[in-house]
Chain A
Amino acid sequence: MTNLVVHDLHKRFGGLQVLKGVEFEINGAELIGLIGPNGAGKTTLTNILDGAIKPNSGTVYLNGVRIDQLAPYQVAKVGLGRTFQVTRSFRRMTVLENLYVPAMALDRGYSKARIAEKAMEILEFLTIDHLRNEYAQALSGGQQKLLELGRLLMHDPEVIILDEPFAGVHPSLMEIIYNYINRVNESGKAIILISHQMDSIFTLCKRLLVLNGGVLIADGPPDEVKRDPTVIEAYLGTDEDEDMHHDAQASQA
């Protein structure tokens, strides 16, 4: 069973303390939402989890392996994969080549024919199989999001971090991404979903982590977190806030 243990993470950039003792644990195929205002430390936490940056102190263990001091490619091999906030497909490589990269890099002993077969299965699931020989740069923004998700299926990690998977995606593709998340989660993978789209977060996630100012201010089921006064004040706001916001916009107009 997947076990990710984040313990007392601290990260400082110069004089700016970005993470202040963040800790949580993931056990099994949980589907967790990571939310918080801009500058809360979500991206820094993600970058520490995937090895792109090192924490000043604290530890991260994935299935018993300490990963906070490993390089990103080593973390990927241990079993953590991610997408990026801004889509980062390999633009001048074909869609199929994009999928071959993780399959070849992680070298799970599959034959080339099996890799090609698996890649086609994934592309069919994501409904972009007709684009397999196109360069990724020819794909729309939403299709590139799907391609990035497809790469993760080839990677097949134990823990998946999806950073804003719904941002800039056409509504018709949202359903595909929803299906993707549910299918991957049901196949036994833990998912950390980062999004500012609260509807999606509340629909999909069974547990929420809320970061604010580098501190984990809430960790629990969505219904509970929604009512947490600290979270409401720091991030979610109230219906009254929403009304005031709309009124302000109306008066400006």
Chain B
Amino acid sequence: MNKKNIPQMAGAALIAAFAIFPFVYSANDYPYIMHILITGFFYAILASSWSMLAGYAGQFSFGHMGFMGIGAYTTALFSHYLYLTPVPTNLCTEFPIGDMYLIILDPIGITSSTLTQDCLRQALDIWDGSVQVTPMPVWLGIALGTMMGGIFGLLIGLLVLPLRAAYLALFTLGFSEILRATVSAEIAVTRGQAGIELPYLFDNGITLFGHQFDKTDKLPPYFAMFFLLLACLGILTWLAKSKFGLFVRALREDEDAAAALGVNTVRYKVLVFVITSMMAAAAGAMMAHYIRIISPNNLIILQMSLVVAMAVIGGVEHFVAAALGAILLEYMLEYLRNSFEIGPIVVDMTTWRLVVFGILLMLTLRFSPKGLLVPMIDYFKRGHVRKETMAKRNAENTP
């Protein structure tokens, strides 16, 4: 077996393991473990896409959770405020679309709840059950959230064109904080700190593998998030192996030299922002439907730091390593919640787990700056390079 293929084979085995896990695991904590894995997949999408942005392209952005929030809030507002009815309400703002009417509810702040907001509630009272009100499809909200992430990624990508290193980091941090402050302040529309509720990812349940799953079951969202992660990793792999990957790495190494060699640095810098922002937004939109609420707390800088730490510990210059780092750390952070006893002393790990996490991050940065997984991948992928170099040099020097 070729040593170089071992990482790919390990990856395939891991994908297979995650695919069959929900069917073979049957312990009592099944919903809890499934929740951890779904959350792990969510962070894996964020960490791997951030790895493409920061690790491959050298654009050290702190705005990634902001893009995640844009995806989440777009689908939240879309599903919260828009409905379809076959007849006009004559009370709400509404537009005919084909043989239906698009109803836009009035923003009424934290006292509102889904489907019972002023104008529509009045209409429902008048109709007295004779008219069917259709919520907007969840998949359309996720698609819109993804697109919105791309649009904001384009804007931010254009704005940060002249910025590098710390200036880029500070700018994107500012963007993320502005976004968080805006959704906090716009209580009438976003319900502020109370957060905005969303419908289930599969609100009417779903049939999978010949089995009907309820909207609260963990398996459908598990596979939804898992496939989104695989799709993102597939796209990132394809990009990394194409000239896009070559150019963004050249961009990271030396923007001026890349431009002097014919690379349209503006195009690739903006493109990498758009693509990775769309991935973060898609993950945010799907996660918001899974946890069914999005609030400004999801956008705090601590969350961004968590994504950065996951990518760094896995390996920021390898998006698969970053994704694995995210899943492992999410599991570790949950596992460390368990308190334990040393003699009469009870150690409450709910607090100390973050200390353990911080120490792990510091040790990684100090002793393995490429991350914990990348050296292992390099061992298999590039272990032969030095031997080949030396062999060729020796052959040339031999008379």
Using CB atoms and an 8 Å cutoff, list the residues of chain A in contact with chain B. 50-52, 71-73, 76-77, 81-82, 84, 88-93, 97, 100-102, 104-106, 129-131, 133-134, 151, 155
Assembled-state Cα–Cα distance A106/B263 (Å):
8
Residues of A within 8 A of B386 (CB): 134
| A88 lies within 8 A of B246 (CB) | no
Residues of B within 8 A of A88 (CB): 254, 256-257
| A133 lies within 8 A of B389 (CB) | yes
The count of A-to-B residue pairs whose CB atoms sit within 8 angstroms is 89
Assembled-state Cα–Cα distance A72/B389 (Å):
35
Does B258 make an interface contact (CB < 8 A)?
A: yes
| A134 lies within 8 A of B385 (CB) | yes
Assembled-state Cα–Cα distance A97/B261 (Å):
13
Assembled-state Cα–Cα distance A50/B256 (Å):
10
| B389 lies within 8 A of A102 (CB) | no
Q: Report A143 CB to chain B, min CB distance, Å.
A: 12
- Chain B residues numbered 251-292 whose CB sits less than 8 Å from any CB in chain A: 252-254, 256-266
Assembled-state Cα–Cα distance A101/B242 (Å):
11
| A101 lies within 8 A of B259 (CB) | no
Assembled-state Cα–Cα distance A133/B246 (Å):
15
Q: Report A152 CB to chain B, min CB distance, Å.
A: 8
| Given A90-B250, A106-B261, 6 more pairs with CB closer than 8 A | A77-B262, A90-B257, A130-B392, A134-B385, A151-B261, A155-B262
Does B211 make an interface contact (CB < 8 A)?
A: no
Query: Taking A73-B262, A77-B262, A101-B258 as contacts, is the C-beta distance between A130 and B396 under 8 angstroms?
Result: yes
Interface size bracket, B side? 20 to 34
Residues of A within 8 A of B317 (CB): 92
| B389 lies within 8 A of A101 (CB) | no
| A93 lies within 8 A of B250 (CB) | yes
Q: Report A79 CB to chain B, min CB distance, Å.
A: 10
Q: Report A202 CB to chain B, min CB distance, Å.
A: 28
Does B80 make an interface contact (CB < 8 A)?
A: no
| B246 lies within 8 A of A100 (CB) | yes
In the complex, what residue of chain B is closest to A72 when comparing beta carbons? B259
Q: Report B370 CB to chain A, min CB distance, Å.
A: 10
In the complex, what residue of chain B is closest to A100 when comparing beta carbons? B246
Q: Report B15 CB to chain A, min CB distance, Å.
A: 28
In the complex, what residue of chain B is closest to A91 when comparing beta carbons? B253
Query: Taking A92-B253, A93-B249 as contacts, is the C-beta distance between A130 and B260 under 8 angstroms?
Result: no
Using CB atoms and an 8 Å cutoff, list the residues of chain B in contact with chain A. 243, 246-247, 249-250, 252-254, 256-266, 317, 382, 385-386, 388-389, 392-393, 396
* A-B CB proximity, top 5 nearest: A105-B262, A130-B392, A90-B253, A72-B259, A76-B262
Q: Report B279 CB to chain A, min CB distance, Å.
A: 23
- Find B257's partner among A84, A104, A129, A134 (CB 8 Å cutoff): A84
Assembled-state Cα–Cα distance A50/B257 (Å):
11
Query: Taking A100-B246, A104-B243 as contacts, is the C-beta distance between A93 and B396 under 8 angstroms?
Result: no
| B392 lies within 8 A of A102 (CB) | no
| B250 lies within 8 A of A52 (CB) | no
| A101 lies within 8 A of B250 (CB) | yes
Residues of A within 8 A of B392 (CB): 129-130
In the complex, what residue of chain A is closest to B317 when comparing beta carbons? A92
Residue of B249, B250, B386 ringed by the most chain A CB atoms within 10 A:
B250
Assembled-state Cα–Cα distance A72/B250 (Å):
15
- Find B246's partner among A89, A91, A101 (CB 8 Å cutoff): A101
In the complex, what residue of chain A is closest to B391 when comparing beta carbons? A130
Residues of B within 8 A of A72 (CB): 256, 259-260
| B249 lies within 8 A of A92 (CB) | yes
Query: Taking A92-B253, A130-B392, A133-B389 as contacts, is the C-beta distance between A76 and B246 under 8 angstroms?
Result: no
In the complex, what residue of chain B is closest to A87 when comparing beta carbons? B257
Q: Report B235 CB to chain A, min CB distance, Å.
A: 19
| B259 lies within 8 A of A71 (CB) | yes
Query: Taking A91-B253, A101-B247 as contacts, is the C-beta distance between A155 and B261 under 8 angstroms?
Result: yes
Q: Report B118 CB to chain A, min CB distance, Å.
A: 54
Assembled-state Cα–Cα distance A73/B250 (Å):
13
Residues of B within 8 A of A50 (CB): 260
| B247 lies within 8 A of A104 (CB) | yes
